[in-house]
Amino acid sequence: MASITDVARLAGVSIATASRVLSSADYAVSAPTRQRVLEAATRLDYVPNALARGLHKRQVPVVGVNVHDITDPYFSEVVRGVEDRAGDAGYLVIICSSDRDPEREVSYVRLLRSMRAGAVIFASSGFDDPAFNAALDNHLAGMRAYGAAVVHLSPHARREPEVSVDNAGGIAAMVEALVALGHREIAFLAGPTSLSVARQRLEGYRDGLAAAGRPFDERLVEHGGLSQVGGAVGVDRLRARGASFTALCCANDLLAIGALRRFEELGIHVPRQVSVAGFDDIEMAAMTAPSLSTVRLPLRELGRRGFDYADHVLSGEQPEHEVMPTSLVMRESTAPPPAATMTAQLPTHTANARGVPA
Amino acid sequence: MASITDVARLAGVSIATASRVLSSADYAVSAPTRQRVLEAATRLDYVPNALARGLHKRQVPVVGVNVHDITDPYFSEVVRGVEDRAGDAGYLVIICSSDRDPEREVSYVRLLRSMRAGAVIFASSGFDDPAFNAALDNHLAGMRAYGAAVVHLSPHARREPEVSVDNAGGIAAMVEALVALGHREIAFLAGPTSLSVARQRLEGYRDGLAAAGRPFDERLVEHGGLSQVGGAVGVDRLRARGASFTALCCANDLLAIGALRRFEELGIHVPRQVSVAGFDDIEMAAMTAPSLSTVRLPLRELGRRGFDYADHVLSGEQPEHEVMPTSLVMRESTAPPPAATMTAQLPTHTANARGVPA
DNA sequence: CTGAAAGCGCTTACAG
DNA sequence: CTGAAAGCGCTTACAG
């Protein structure tokens, strides 16, 4: 492995001069000298040692991305966006799947700090654990101390994200679209209140209702895990309670797909008897039967902007916070409501005309 | 940012001693001294500088994973497996999505080399471009020179993978299962011959046929991209040619899903009129209608073994190569064949009884 | 069990 | 435009 010393020797210059031409900064070096150094470098197959360089620069061109789980399509898409831009800037991207485990997250950030990563991007939303947040803030402060950029793509410990997606606006738009289709009673399958993203989406549901002039009725809301099982359970709970609705809006696609499956099992036709809408537009959303109407999030772009933001911070700027718009994707799972409301048509255990729990 | 010097000073010992207790190697240090150093370290919130350490050790605890695209579920699953084990070993994982672009792959490996990554794992299969392979081999040699481990999870430039999945065996097992269901004419949608993985799977198709005592007929094979579009196109080509078959085995799930959709459009019932089988068992395979019979690959485990292999190499061992078994997942898309062959039942443009092109 | 010192491979003021 | 030298923060023979 040739070092800069070998290159300098072969070129017959000092290592300072060799460094000046090799480090690609535009130092004033005479053309012939520069030439000789470049030749020596290629001859020796010189590859600079990023560790040595980083030791001096106090950081290395590496960006860590904190995700819930890299196999979750939401996050792999965001990571890919980060990678798109990182590649252009000569940065390597490290993935940190914390499985929403505060301890793992802290330990990853500590590792990133120890590696003197130039930036961390938090793609997954935070926890409300104070002890954990203190430890995390401590490491983040340590990172900022050596000049690293810290970027959040979702709410994190009460701090506003630097770049984010308009969760509330997206759900609100879907609710309004459902109202425009003629729905008057729209139920909502929310995620767990412990997740800030889920809270934002629930907020969007209220906003959409308000914008459409419809009242908010908490009996039409069910909380649960953001999974298919959660969707099935949500449908059952709503029905057991005799909730009356013609459309079901969900906090994410998995929830919606779970609901779709459950309705199918129950022999309830979507969208003829009930409309179902998701959120995220994961790949699977286009493949279900019926295909899912949902809200598309510009995830890859979110990742790109996240890196750009970090890049700007690294060059000493103070970039603007940014909220990226979502877009509606109406497919087969939504349609105008049937003449009567669901409970009037469907056999539920305890249903009554107005959806009041029996 | 406290350095080891600060810790040593506060503890009243030399930095050599501080290093000996902090580097976690089991050096002989008196208990009270060790205690004082540890206290000083926590007091100062000391986080070791991995760059300085790596500069000395000539490598850093980082593993790069080369993938086609991190958003492809196949690869994100493998990466997650790598991450599972890397985490235990204190390694960080860098993802390198090369989009099957030789130049990008080479540039990523160069970057990994410059960062003195402890290991590279190639999850995606290689190219046959000689110029590219020379550049790649050069960087890989450079990495081995400083002690890095190089692991392949699929065939790469004629080299046997260190750890891999039994592609041929998996397809062969599916073909045999289809024969066991009663199918005698089984068509195959292969991937592009330029991909070694695709070649292995085609080989498996031949193996399975041979094992079941069925002849290989090249008119029942179609090549194309490993995508849904490729699946639809493959079905059309087979039919246009009047190929006669009761089961369609595909080189991957996307191909199979594309075929499923195409058959649906054509009004051909799966599995009543034709059985369809995939390969990979991506998440989507369980969600299609009908759900897809396929071959499950232990992808996460593949990633784990890949890291384990690297880890063993790093500790100076010479681990055994390993081929991981696949398993059949029979769902709704396969069933016994109809009494007559497809062409006898279905209206195709140029079909005739024996499937010979008109 | 502990310390002084050299060295890992770069970069960047500081002189000239 | 070029070089000598200090320093980034560690680890590890080498002595004692």
- What DSSP line would sit under B267-306, residue for residue? T--TTTT-EEE-SB--GGGGTSSSPPBEEE--HHHHHHHH
Give the mean pLDDT of A237-243. Answer: 96
B182 and B284 inside one domain: yes
* Rounded Cα–Cα distance for residues B350 and B358 (Å): 6
Interface of A with B in 198-217 (CB under 8 A): none
The answer, yes or no, to whether residue B354 has pLDDT greater than 60, is: no
From edge to edge, which strands make up the β-sheet containing A186-190?
A221-223, A186-190, A247-250, A275-277
Range in A46-50, A208-212, B283-287 the model is least confident about? B283-287
Where b means 16+ CB within 10 Å and e means fewer, B276-292 reads bbbbbbbebbebbebbb
Task: Write down which residue in A114, A140, A161 finishes a domain.
Answer: A161
B284 versus A113: the higher-pLDDT residue is A113
The answer, yes or no, to whether residue A351 has pLDDT greater than 70, is: no
Cβ of residue A340 near strand C, that is under 7 Å? no
C-alpha dihedral over A171, A173, A179, A185, to 10 degrees? 10
> Tokens 């019926």, residue?
A290
Residue B10's domain comprises 4-48
Mutate which: A44, A46, A47, A96, vs B, most B CBs within 10 A: A47
Q: How many residues does chain B have?
A: 358
Within B12-159, residue ranges assigned H as helices are 15-22, 31-43, 50-57, 73-88, 102-114, 130-145
Interchain contact, B51 vs A49, CB within 8 Å: no
The answer, yes or no, to whether residue A346 has pLDDT greater than 70, is: no
Is residue A329 within 8 Å of A281, Cβ to Cβ?
yes
For chain A, say whether B138 makes contact (Cβ under 8 Å): yes
A183 and A275 inside one domain: yes
Residue B226 is given by DSSP the state: S
For chain A, say whether B145 makes contact (Cβ under 8 Å): yes
Quote the pLDDT of residue A287.
81
Where b means 16+ CB within 10 Å and e means fewer, B146-162 reads eebbbbbbbbbbeeebb
Residue A148 is given by DSSP the state: -
B88 and B190 inside one domain: no
User: Half-sphere exposure of B317 toward its Cβ, with a 13 Å CA cutoff?
Assistant: 9
Q: Which residue of chain B is at minimal alpha-carbon distance from A65?
A: B94
Range in A340-344, B148-152, B233-237, B339-343 the model is least confident about? A340-344
Token duo for residue A285: 């959303």
Domain count, chain A: 3
Per residue in A118-154, pLDDT (tens digit) is: 999 999 876 778 888 899 999 999 999 999 999 999 8
Give chain C positions with protein CB within 7 A: 1-5, 7-13
CA distance B77 to chain A (A): 6
Mean pLDDT for chain A? 91
The answer, yes or no, to whether residue B347 has pLDDT greater than 90, is: no
Token duo for residue A184: 């008057």
Task: Write down which residue in B117, B140, B161 finishes a domain.
Answer: B161
Quote the pLDDT of residue A341.
47
Give the mean pLDDT of A111-117. Answer: 97
B196 versus B109: the higher-pLDDT residue is B109
Quote the pLDDT of residue A345.
44
Give the mean pLDDT of B282-290. Answer: 85
Quote the pLDDT of residue A336.
97
Q: How many residues does chain A have?
A: 358
Mean pLDDT for chain B? 91
The answer, yes or no, to whether residue B343 has pLDDT greater than 50, is: no
The answer, yes or no, to whether residue A106 has pLDDT greater than 70, is: yes
Quote the pLDDT of residue A25.
67
Facing residue for A95 by CB, picked from B47, B73, B95: B95
B12 and B44 inside one domain: yes
Per residue in A169-180, pLDDT (tens digit) is: 999 999 999 999
Quote the pLDDT of residue B306.
97
B112 and B201 inside one domain: no
A126 versus A200: the higher-pLDDT residue is A200
Per residue in A15-33, pLDDT (tens digit) is: 999 999 998 767 888 889 9
Quote the pLDDT of residue A159.
78
Interchain contact, A95 vs B97, CB within 8 Å: no
A29 and A66 inside one domain: no
Quote the pLDDT of residue B231.
97
Does B319 sit behind a cis peptide bond, omega within 30 degrees of 0 on the bond before it? Answer: no
Contacts of A184 (CB under 8 A, 6+ apart): A214, A246, A337
Where b means 16+ CB within 10 Å and e means fewer, B88-125 reads eeebbbbbbbbebebeebbbbbbbbbbbbbbbbbbbbb
Q: Max CA-CA distance within chain A?
A: 93
Mapping DSSP onto H, E and C, the string for B152-218 reads ECCCECCECCCEEECHHHHHHHHHHHHHHHCCCCEEEEECCCCCHHHHHHHHHHHHHHHHCCCCCCH
Nearest CA to A244 out of A352, A91, A325 is that of: A352
Identity at B299, one-letter amino acid code: L
> How far from B147 is each of A170, B113, B140, B285, CA to CA, in Å?
51, 11, 11, 41
Look at residue A257 and tell me if it is in a domain. yes
Q: Which residue of chain A is at minimal alpha-carbon distance from B70?
A: A76
B33 and B84 inside one domain: no
Beta bridge partner(s), residue A323:
A164
Look at residue A194 and tell me if it is in a domain. yes
* Rounded Cα–Cα distance for residues A97 and A225 (Å): 19
A212 and A341 inside one domain: yes
* Rounded Cα–Cα distance for residues B202 and B218 (Å): 11
Give the mean pLDDT of A323-339. Answer: 95
Q: Is the pTM of the predicted complex or chain greater than 0.95?
A: no
Is residue B278 within 8 Å of B250, Cβ to Cβ?
yes
Burial of B63 (0-12, 13-18, 19+ CB in 10 A): buried
Helices A15-22/A4-11 angle, 10° precision = 110
Quote the pLDDT of residue B278.
98
The answer, yes or no, to whether residue B355 has pLDDT greater than 80, is: no
* Rounded Cα–Cα distance for residues B140 and B112 (Å): 10
Look at residue B282 and tell me if it is in a domain. yes
Q: The domain that contains A182 carries what CATH number?
A: 3.40.50.2300
Identity at B43, one-letter amino acid code: R
A118 and A258 inside one domain: no
* Rounded Cα–Cα distance for residues A100 and A69 (Å): 8
Range in A290-304, B36-50, B246-260, B276-290 the model is least confident about? B276-290
Percent of chain A surpassing pLDDT 70: 93
A282 and A180 inside one domain: yes
Look at residue B322 and tell me if it is in a domain. no
Q: Per-residue confidence at B25, pLDDT binned at 50, 70, 90?
A: low
Give the mean pLDDT of A297-317. Answer: 95
Percent of chain B surpassing pLDDT 90: 80
Quote the pLDDT of residue B341.
46
Give the mean pLDDT of B277-297. Answer: 91
Percent of chain B surpassing pLDDT 70: 94
Quote the pLDDT of residue B351.
34
The answer, yes or no, to whether residue B295 has pLDDT greater than 70, is: yes
Look at residue B187 and tell me if it is in a domain. yes
Distance B56 CA to C7 C1' (A): 8
* Rounded Cα–Cα distance for residues B276 and A151 (Å): 46
Give the mean pLDDT of B292-305. Answer: 97
Identity at A70, one-letter amino acid code: I
Look at residue A277 and tell me if it is in a domain. yes
Beta bridge partner(s), residue A119:
A63, A149
> Tokens 């900064």, residue?
A25
Token duo for residue A297: 């999030």
A155 and A245 inside one domain: no
Three-state DSSP at A263 gives helix
A225 and A338 inside one domain: yes
Quote the pLDDT of residue B5.
94
Look at residue B302 and tell me if it is in a domain. no
Give the mean pLDDT of B270-275. Answer: 97
- What DSSP line would sit under B227-277, residue for residue? SHHHHHHHHHHHHHTT---SEEEESSHHHHHHHHHHHHHTT--TTTT-EEE
Look at residue B142 and tell me if it is in a domain. yes
Residue A159 is given by DSSP the state: B
